[in-house]
Structure 1
Amino acid sequence: MKIYFPQWQGSGTGTTIESGAKTILDFVNDPKFIHIPLSELPAGENGERKYDINNYDAITEQLSRLKNHIKSSQPETIQTIGGDCGLEIVPVSYLNKKYPNLGVIWFDAHADINKPCDSPSCNFHGMPLRTLLGEGEKKMHPLLFSKIKASQIHYAGLRDIDETEQLRITEGHIYAPLTLSIEHLVKTLKDKNIKHLYLHFDFDCLEPNDYDKTYYKVPNGLHIKEAENCIKALKDNFTIVGSSVLESITTIPSELNPISSIIHLLMKNL
């Protein structure tokens, strides 16, 4: 199943995320992508904060729509063009229910593992992993098909971590190396007897000198070739059942050329 879900409300006011997602959709030019409509409830500058989450009502309404669509379709695989990282709670929790002990590879500059009460911004795109662990806002639990364990999370490109996030990472012995070793990542996954993977790819995991058309720009990231080689190694050694490309903001198709190989690796048929 291929989904176009340009959620931006999880970033607070980042409407450029929606137009960036549309640019990738047009770039991919695959008619199999299904468009899940976003909420029309007030958000962004006119949004309301509830339970320490900005735009809470809009986010939960549209994520409910996404969940219902996936539930009725019962896909074997899910590929998503988005959108902010908060949308991941639905496809990841669905695939985790379908493939127990799903390995979640989180290509991201940010840990995205805050509790709402600990988040400096109150933006939901910094909370999806904590929500997937069943430790986020309880009223959002009905959006989940299942909960994951800390041992299933594996970061790549992580380098911007809040103090409370670091505490959860340390407490949970979550895989979060300072530098990426593809060989070590593959070995770690195999040692855990993980066979199926979800590849979350926020483009801010990349070094901005390689690609800077991202919602956040964080120095010292993964080089494009390094990310490509990692994805290829994961595809060679495991069964990829889900993937996403998220938080690119360019509206100029030619500016996607440097990352075209990554988009192709993640969005072609699994």
Structure 2
Amino acid sequence: MQSADHKFDLVLSYPQWQGSGRSQHLRRGALAAAEVCRRYGPLVQVPDAGAGEDVGGIHRWTAIVEQFRSAKAMLDEKQPRSVLTAGGDCACDVAVIDYLHGRYPDLTVLWVDAHLDANTAATSPSGNFHGMPVAAIMGSAPADLRALLSTPLPPSQFRYVAAHVGDDGDWEFQRNNALSWLDPDRPVSGPIHVHFDLDALDPAAFPHVAYPEGRLSMEAGLAVVRGAAAGGALVGLTITEFAPADGRGAMEGSRFLERLCEAAVAG
């Protein structure tokens, strides 16, 4: 994964907030995340596209698509072998996973999240795109975004970690695609990308999130990243949904983000 001079080939600051239904503190979190992550590789930033417009039942959709195009152009230009992404809402991972899957056809995605995130525009009760990225990377994105994506990720190359919250659309997609959870006794081989939504964590230990419904301990979350990094298999890590209420929260939460990054390069 590592180049001669950097621990990741590219650090992508992707401060997308438009996909969230509770975006008040996401920009503060994304800025703090970028400050941590920039220590681990050369940083580029996806420009903010503003509030955008609702399309097809998805809030602020035009801004989300514009930011996706910007991220895709950056990734296509830089051609990194490994990517560390500082989000942003968790839908910012669609562009990164699509790029890495194109580079590594046998890529496995570990989705560390309290939520299944598997709605589509037709099934979402909220219209917020951060509840749809799992369906999107598997070929069920809205048509205008689907046209920009490459080969869908096969469900067999996907594992949930700690996900337990979903509505009817999420669970239907999970059942229809036989999406499974990571078995710690069956290590994943080949290149791995870890999506780490901080709301997977127990909010008693990590309260700096907008949707505090997680059950995962901080040490268990770090162990997932360390396991993925073992032997140099980790080619991507995306940190999402950091939503500290103030500067003090940003500083406190950033300590765990640094530990995540250190775990990612430990292999």
Instruction: State whether residues 5 and 36 of structure 1, in contact with CA within 8 Å, keep that contact through their aligned partners in structure 2.
Output: yes
1:264 corresponds to which letter in structure 2? E
Aligned partner of residue 150 in structure 2, secondary structure: coil
Once residues 175 and 125 of structure 2 are traced to their aligned partners in structure 1, the CA distance between those partners, rounded to angstroms, is: 20
- Per the normalisation by structure 2, the TM-score is 0.88
Instruction: State whether residues 94 and 146 of structure 1, in contact with CA within 8 Å, keep that contact through their aligned partners in structure 2.
Output: no
2:240 aligns with: 246
Alignment identity in percent? Answer: 26
Instruction: Tell me how far 1:17 sits from its aligned partner.
Output: 0.8
Instruction: Tell me how far 1:132 sits from its aligned partner.
Output: 1.0
Once residues 126 and 90 of structure 2 are traced to their aligned partners in structure 1, the CA distance between those partners, rounded to angstroms, is: 14
Q: How does 1:169-184 map to 2 (within 5 A)?
A: 169-176=174-181, 181-184=183-186
Once residues 246 and 143 of structure 1 are traced to their aligned partners in structure 2, the CA distance between those partners, rounded to angstroms, is: 22
Instruction: Tell me how far 1:248 sits from its aligned partner.
Output: 0.8
Once residues 226 and 120 of structure 1 are traced to their aligned partners in structure 2, the CA distance between those partners, rounded to angstroms, is: 31
2:5 aligns with: none
Instruction: State whether residues 116 and 127 of structure 1, in contact with CA within 8 Å, keep that contact through their aligned partners in structure 2.
Output: yes
- Per the normalisation by structure 1, the TM-score is 0.87
CA RMSD of aligned residues (A): 2.0
For structure 2, the 5+ residue unaligned runs are 1-9
In the superposition, relative to structure 1, how do residues 254 and 135 fare at CA in structure 2: closer, same or farther (>3 Å)?
closer
Q: What per-residue deviation string (whole Å, max 9, x for no partner) do you get for residues 40-74 of structure 1?
A: 3xx2xxx5321121001111111111111111111
Counterpart of 1:196 (choices 178, 185, 191) is 191
Q: How does 1:187-266 map to 2 (within 5 A)?
A: 189=188, 194-219=189-214, 221-236=215-230, 239-250=233-244, 251-252=247-248, 253-256=250-253, 257-266=255-264
Aligned partner of residue 49 in structure 1, secondary structure: coil
Instruction: State whether residues 107 and 200 of structure 1, in contact with CA within 8 Å, keep that contact through their aligned partners in structure 2.
Output: yes
Once residues 166 and 173 of structure 1 are traced to their aligned partners in structure 2, the CA distance between those partners, rounded to angstroms, is: 10
- Number of residue pairs the alignment of both structures matches: 253
1:7 aligns with: 16
Instruction: State whether residues 85 and 247 of structure 1, in contact with CA within 8 Å, keep that contact through their aligned partners in structure 2.
Output: yes
Instruction: State whether residues 114 and 127 of structure 1, in contact with CA within 8 Å, keep that contact through their aligned partners in structure 2.
Output: yes
2:152 corresponds to which letter in structure 1? K
Aligned partner of residue 10 in structure 1, secondary structure: coil
Instruction: Tell me how far 1:3 sits from its aligned partner.
Output: 0.8
1:100 corresponds to which letter in structure 2? P
Instruction: Tell me how far 1:136 sits from its aligned partner.
Output: 2.3
1:198 corresponds to which letter in structure 2? H
Instruction: State whether residues 11 and 38 of structure 2, in contact with CA within 8 Å, keep that contact through their aligned partners in structure 1.
Output: no
In the superposition, relative to structure 1, how do residues 28 and 243 fare at CA in structure 2: closer, same or farther (>3 Å)?
closer
Instruction: State whether residues 53 and 63 of structure 2, in contact with CA within 8 Å, keep that contact through their aligned partners in structure 1.
Output: no
1:66 aligns with 2:71: yes
Instruction: Tell me how far 1:142 sits from its aligned partner.
Output: 2.9
Instruction: State whether residues 90 and 145 of structure 1, in contact with CA within 8 Å, keep that contact through their aligned partners in structure 2.
Output: no
Instruction: State whether residues 197 and 238 of structure 1, in contact with CA within 8 Å, keep that contact through their aligned partners in structure 2.
Output: no
2:259 corresponds to which letter in structure 1? S
Instruction: Tell me how far 1:113 sits from its aligned partner.
Output: 0.9
1:141 corresponds to which letter in structure 2? R
Instruction: Tell me how far 1:263 sits from its aligned partner.
Output: 3.7
2:15 corresponds to which letter in structure 1? P
Once residues 264 and 154 of structure 1 are traced to their aligned partners in structure 2, the CA distance between those partners, rounded to angstroms, is: 22
In the superposition, relative to structure 1, how do residues 90 and 259 fare at CA in structure 2: closer, same or farther (>3 Å)?
closer
Q: What per-residue deviation string (whole Å, max 9, x for no partner) do you get for residues 191-210 of structure 1?
A: xxx40100000000111111
1:38 aligns with: 48
Once residues 44 and 65 of structure 2 are traced to their aligned partners in structure 1, the CA distance between those partners, rounded to angstroms, is: 19
Instruction: State whether residues 139 and 152 of structure 2, in contact with CA within 8 Å, keep that contact through their aligned partners in structure 1.
Output: yes
Q: What per-residue deviation string (whole Å, max 9, x for no partner) do you get for residues 179-238 of structure 1?
A: xx5224x2xx3xxxx40100000000111111010121005x110011112221222156
Once residues 100 and 9 of structure 1 are traced to their aligned partners in structure 2, the CA distance between those partners, rounded to angstroms, is: 29
Aligned partner of residue 195 in structure 1, secondary structure: coil
2:260 corresponds to which letter in structure 1? I
Once residues 27 and 21 of structure 1 are traced to their aligned partners in structure 2, the CA distance between those partners, rounded to angstroms, is: 10
Instruction: Tell me how far 1:28 sits from its aligned partner.
Output: 4.3
